[in-house]
Amino acid sequence: MPKGVTKRRPRTRAALLRAALATFAAHGFHASTIEQICEAAGYTRGAFYSNFGSKDELFLALFDDHSARIVSRIAELIDAATAEEFTLQDVADALSDIEPAERDWYLVSTEFTLHAIRNPHAARALAEHDARLRAEIARGLREQLTRAGRALTVDADELARLLIAIREGGLAQSYVEPDRLPPGRLERRFLVPLLTALTTDLG
């Protein structure tokens, strides 16, 4: 493959991902067409199929991209904690951070999850990507809880599932009633007592 094409490929892929997220959020996963995504990105169908085999594959690439950004964002917030004594509150504050742009991802991911529930092949693929995200969350939890002087008394993967459920369930309510329940409020209110109950003091 020519060097120019090789260098352009990451830019093309990134542009298609950005266009796909915006298109899916505006029109829905099923209603959006590959043509709409290509038009929004400024590329042809050929460019799409040189990067993705289907809309499902495109969504899963979005999932991995979003997961990496969220994990990185949480790590940055935790690393920025300047308190002399790192606490469970620092962990909870990082996990409670919800950026405004998260709403678009919530719309897209919720619709794809419903699609996966109806489609066994999509469900298996989504479960694999979910598992990789949970593994990253579980690893980070163990590390940061140790830093806070705590150790888990439950399975880290199961706790990661619970934290994801709290985040997604809280966002569903927040986006319906944004004035009554700002995004992240439930996590800020309940994660410290939850993590306290599910950990033990290392000291």
Q: Which domains does the chain have, with CATH numbers?
A: 1-53 (1.10.10.60), 55-201 (1.10.357.10)
pTM of the model: 0.88
pLDDT in tens, the chain (203 residues): 444 455 677 899 999 999 999 999 999 999 999 999 999 999 999 999 999 999 999 999 999 999 999 999 988 888 887 667 788 998 999 999 999 989 999 999 999 999 999 999 999 999 999 999 999 999 999 999 998 899 999 999 999 999 999 999 999 999 999 999 999 999 999 999 999 999 999 97
Please give the pLDDT value at position 86: 85
Please give the pLDDT value at position 85: 78
CA distance 39 to 180: 38
- Residue environment code for 28-39, b if the CB has 16+ CB neighbours within 10 A, otherwise e: ebeebebebbbe
Both structure tokens of 46: 């050929």
Strand 150-152 to 199-201 pairing: antiparallel
- Residue environment code for 148-165, b if the CB has 16+ CB neighbours within 10 A, otherwise e: bebebeeebeebbeebee
CA distance 124 to 110: 16
Cα 156 → chain centroid: 18
Residue 45 CB-density burial (10 A; 0-12 exposed, 13-18 middle, 19+ buried):
exposed
Please give the pLDDT value at position 6: 58
CA distance 149 to 141: 12
Per the CB < 8 A criterion, the answer to whether 105 and 21 are in contact is yes
Please give the pLDDT value at position 4: 47
Phi, psi of 50 (to 5 degrees): -80, -10
Please give the pLDDT value at position 7: 65
